[in-house]
Amino acid sequence: NGYADLSGDPDTIHRVSGVWRFAWKSWDLYPSSMLPAAYAPFPGSWAALPGTERTGFASYGLSLTGLDSGRQYAVRIGHTLSACNLLVNGSRLAGAGNPGTSPASEVPGWNSLVAQFFPRADGTADIVLQISNFTDRLGGSNAAVYIGDAALAYSMLDARKLSAAFVSAVLSALGLFFLALFAWRRKEHSFFWFSLLCILLGVRSLCYDDFVLLDLFPALPWPVLFRIGYLTFPLSLVCIAGYLASLFPTLLRRYEALGAAAPFCAYSLVIVFAPERITAQLLPVVQVFGLGFLLWTVFLLVRACIRKLEGAFWTVAAFSAAPVLYVHDLLVSMWVLSGMSLTHFGMVFGLCIIALMGISRYSMSFRKAGAMSAELHMMNRALKRFVPDDFLGLLNSHDPASVRAGDASEVELAVLSAKIGSFPVRVEKMEPEDVFRFLNSFLALVAPLVRANGGIIARYDGDGLVALFSGGSDA
């Protein structure tokens, strides 16, 4: 109860979860000022303790023994709701916002608190967390406290921040890539929604747990960080609805997608314009809607697989872990579980699968376009044997498909009609193959001469041809 013996391997990072000393509505942890409920589980919310409320302020304390007095230690805790001071041996070493005893005196803040300290000469230290909550939905913390060698603790923190930054970079790069593909091919609306989803999840990975966004923008005000972090949740679900509607238009009508996304669009407006406390209080309700939306998505994907729609199996493979990850994060946000959010980490794999599907579809469309272009080129070559480009030029056109019945132009031309004299008599006793060879030899001789003199062969007429020459009688 309020004590932890950390003797043993000095290079171990200890997770000190358990029962801590607790003082409700007091910054003082001396026994004389404690309420009867002098101990409380940590991490956890004080709302479940007798004699407490959701809003208020309290202190948590833990006495450490077994420390090496000559070694520098570090203590780390994830974010608390909604403001916190971290004290070691009576000295304030770190804080998130400024905890207060009333809504007017509290300055909310989110941050991952890390502080270095040296134990007392006898190897002891007292850790105190002063927490107030007049803004968010719960008071206390659902993030565990870690204590260990300072160099090792900071190394672990750097690794966590690096992993969050890496995930954000991968997701953002995917998002920008598919946004560029959408700009190149506007008909692929699924690329647009997918790119927004990647970017939103990339931003979300920076807004929570280790708050890498604050490392990038140290002066970012807490209300802005609060709204950015909260917005990534409903807007991601809106993007999923838009993506599914674009990918399976025959299965999901537009009004159905709009109906599914409407609650999350409304909550997004609440996040932007309403006070933070209202936004936080409404979150559990929206999370229930999110769970229903997730079940609806699973049902939709099952139908898509049954119908064997294009991209259905890829999408199922990508989102197969999403239900488990969402339920885990839902329990973490409700403080049933302690830990970090996993959705944006787990979705990296799924989004990469969808990215491969999108790239495959995009490359396939290019292959189809190339095949169609080659086929069209062959058709044009065959068509030019019967309708030369020069003949189309007389109609002020270069595309046979653009010529319509009744199209005409008035041009002064000279007409040449050339035939083989006595053709019936010449071929009367010839075999069919000999007739063709004889006729082709004549055309092979005359046709190049016509073209060389600027003529156009209008038609082949049995044993002869009709050619047109511009310029009239002077041709």
Placement of tokens 């060698």 in the chain: 149
Amino acid of residue 238: V
Dihedrals phi, psi of 420, to nearest 5 degrees: -85, 120
Residues 6 or more apart from 399 whose CB is under 8 A from it? Answer: 392
DSSP 421: T
pLDDT at 35 over 60: no
Q: What is the pLDDT of residue 34?
A: 45
pLDDT digits 0-9 by tens, 176-185: 988 988 898 8
Q: What is the pLDDT of residue 129?
A: 94
pLDDT at 475 over 80: no
In this prediction the pTM is 0.74
Where is average pLDDT lowest: 168-172, 250-254, 352-356, 370-374? 352-356
Euclidean distance between CA atoms 59 and 26, whole angstroms: 6
Q: What is the pLDDT of residue 68?
A: 92
Q: At what angle do helices 222-247 and 189-207 cross, to 10 degrees?
A: 150
DSSP 12: P
Q: What is the pLDDT of residue 94?
A: 94
Cis peptide before 82 (omega within 30 of 0): yes
Euclidean distance between CA atoms 280 and 275, whole angstroms: 9
Euclidean distance between CA atoms 133 and 53, whole angstroms: 10
Euclidean distance between CA atoms 225 and 214, whole angstroms: 8
Topology (CATH) of 3-143: Jelly Rolls (2.60.120)
What is the bridge-based pairing of β-strands 56-65 and 3-5?
parallel
pLDDT confidence tier of residue 38, bands split at 50, 70 and 90: confident
Q: What is the pLDDT of residue 347?
A: 67
Say whether 389-474 and 3-143 share the same fold: no
Q: What is the pLDDT of residue 37?
A: 47
Three-class secondary structure of residue 350 per DSSP: helix
- Mean pLDDT for 261-287 is 94
Instruction: State the alpha helices, DSSP H only, in 185-247.
Output: 189-207, 212-216, 222-247
Gyration radius of the chain's alpha carbons = 38
Instruction: Indicate if the alpha-carbon torsion angle 288, 293, 298, 303 is positive or negative.
Output: positive
CA atoms within 13 A on the CB side of 151: 3
pLDDT at 7 over 80: yes
Q: Which CATH number applies to 389-474?
A: 3.30.70.1230
pLDDT at 164 over 80: yes
pLDDT at 340 over 80: no
Q: Which two tokens stand for residue 420?
A: 């083989």
Residues 6 or more apart from 53 whose CB is under 8 A from it? Answer: 47
Length of the chain measured in residues? 475
With 0-12 CB in 10 A as exposed, 13-18 as middle and 19+ as buried, what is 146? buried
Give residue limits of the domains in the chain: 3-143, 159-360, 389-474
Euclidean distance between CA atoms 42 and 456, whole angstroms: 94
DSSP 341: -
pLDDT digits 0-9 by tens, 231-240: 999 999 999 9
What is the bridge-based pairing of β-strands 91-96 and 413-419?
unpaired
pLDDT at 225 over 50: yes
Query: Residue 218's CB: how many other CB atoms inside 10 A?
Result: 7
Q: Report how far apart, in Å, the C-alpha atoms of 7 and of each of 61, 128, 138 are.
A: 19, 20, 34
Q: What is the pLDDT of residue 206?
A: 92
Q: At what angle do helices 276-306 and 222-247 cross, to 10 degrees?
A: 20
Answer whether 287's CB lies under 8 Å from 333's CB: yes
Q: Which two tokens stand for residue 171?
A: 């997701």
Percent of the chain with pLDDT over 90: 36
- Mean pLDDT for 209-218 is 91
Euclidean distance between CA atoms 41 and 43, whole angstroms: 6
Three-class secondary structure of residue 84 per DSSP: strand
143 versus 226: the higher-pLDDT residue is 226
Q: What is the pLDDT of residue 465?
A: 83
Where is average pLDDT lowest: 56-65, 154-163, 258-267, 408-417? 408-417
pLDDT at 106 over 50: yes
Three-class secondary structure of residue 44 per DSSP: strand
| Helices and strands, counts by H and E, the chain | 12, 16
Q: Report how far apart, in Å, the C-alpha atoms of 344 and of each of 89, 241, 350, 370 are.
A: 37, 17, 10, 38
